[in-house]
Amino acid sequence: MKPVVICNTYFLHLDPKQERRMEPYPPLGTLYAAAVLREKGYDIHFFDTIFCSGPEAIFNTLSKFQAGIFIICDDGFNYLTKMCLVNMREACSAMIKKAKEEGFTILVSSSDATDHWQDYLNVGADAIVIGEPEQTIAACVDALQHENPALNTIEGLGLRTTTGFAKTPARALMQDLDNLPLPAWDLIDMDQYRSRWMAHSGYFSINMTTTRGCPFKCNWCAKPIYGNRYHSRSAKAVADEINLLRNTYQVEHIWFCDDIFGLKPNWINSFAGLMQEQPIPFKIQCRADLLLDENNIQSLAGAGCDEVWIGAESGSQKILDAMDKGTTIAQITESSRLMYRSGIKPCFFLQFGYPGETLTDIKSTMKLLRNCKPYDIGISISYPLPGTVFYDRVFAQLSNKQNWNDSDELLMMYHGTYSAAFYKYLHRYVHRRFRMLQGMKCIREIFSGKRNTTSPPLKRLFALPIHSVLCLYYFLMVQTKKQPVSELQVAS
């Protein structure tokens, strides 16, 4: 039986913002693929790249298991891998080239490889997994045990042919996710993850998934791995895995990394019923229009839900409609109110720079933050990725560089209303202003005696002076860059 080496391709060291933040999550998608292979009887040599300085870290392992099967399977559940960062692509290419030198047959599954499958084959990969990875990878490993494997008969692959490139027929998505084995948690160094979390956050969080796919059609959202079909694990299977993680690894917090949590009718209530005796703090991602039923929100709170991140995106209904978001400002406002009332912290994902956005729309987003007072925010610049309507609309404006180097680059890739420098400073300004206002809220709550579980963390108070100074600085920089690009072109 040929040796099987499997790894991910995300390196914290190559993403400085995330390395400073130090909230590392194991490569969940990779661990699922490893578990399926192990269930079939294969001896897996797992290599976790998260804490490595670069691709060279795996070279000794590749030299040790020469002429085997090398599987690069990224975590398709983590938003950082979905960003298709250039630094990770280059690291992956280096691993492919080294594995090729050592005589491996190389399979690659990732969002970036799906988008650029011919480029990855040109680098040296033998097959690119298109879509949900576990069953396709297992079929490939089975076939590669034979002398003349017919990979072109396996569904869900991108391959090189004698005349160029070709894709095999698509593989149907799995529907009964409870049939999958649990992720191979024992293959990672859980102590290393725990120690990093405890040192930087004071608690230990792990990532889980309850579903795959998202049926909504936001036109900027790429779904290269799991697509638009929505499939769910049973509430009991999820609760059982939580208990295993809590009892075996002393996990204290869960990040459910589903695109949409709890969409299936009555799922949340069933889950809450199973968790009510031993709730565990967790955070989820959901939509504002799915968080308008107070009974559902109270069930989430009873199960332990601490934070809900919603894709607010913009405070301008015009921009939300242009995105085909399908939500309204009223729904964002009401869902935030209901969450706060149940003791859950609403958090907003925001993006600036979507085509057609003006200063009026940006001010509407600032107003939304003032009115809703979310517990936390995450801000991005609109980022066109292949396979989306948004990407097709701006494709003619894109240069050769179409991806960010790391998650903090936030480079405007197309012709936005304002310059790339404007959006960079706007991102910094909104963040600092938000933190400054939270610090001021801490002061008011302390003097009024009204602090509670959803109050801003006290570190916002201690950092108030620096946030105030930087808020003013970035505000002034935004003012110098706010002339629309079209007016600058006319002036020149």
Quick one: pLDDT band at residue 486, thresholds 50, 70, 90? Answer: low
Phi (first) and psi of residue 282, to 5 degrees: -150, 160
- The hierarchical CATH code for the domain 203-378 is 3.20.20.70
Q: What is the mean pLDDT of the chain?
A: 96
Mean pLDDT of 425-447: 95
Q: What's the residue count for the chain?
A: 492
**What predicted TM-score, i.e. pTM, was given to this entire model?**
0.95
Q: Which of 111, 7, 108 is nearest to 56 (CA)?
A: 7
Q: Give the right CATH number for 4-167 from 3.30.360.10, 3.40.50.280, 3.40.50.1000, 3.40.30.10.
A: 3.40.50.280
Q: Where are the domains of the chain?
A: 4-167, 203-378
Q: Answer for the pair 15, 85: CB distance below 8 angstroms, yes or no.
A: yes
pLDDT at 195: 98
pLDDT tens figures, 219-264: 999 999 999 999 999 999 999 999 999 999 999 999 999 999 999 9
pLDDT tens figures, 314-327: 999 999 999 999 99
Mean pLDDT of 285-308: 97
Quick one: pLDDT band at residue 147, thresholds 50, 70, 90? Answer: confident
Q: Answer for the pair 69, 2: CB distance below 8 angstroms, yes or no.
A: yes
pLDDT at 483: 86
Question: Alpha-carbon Rg of the chain, whole angstroms?
Answer: 23
Q: For residue 96, what are the CA distances in angstroms to 58, 99, 158, 473?
A: 11, 5, 16, 45
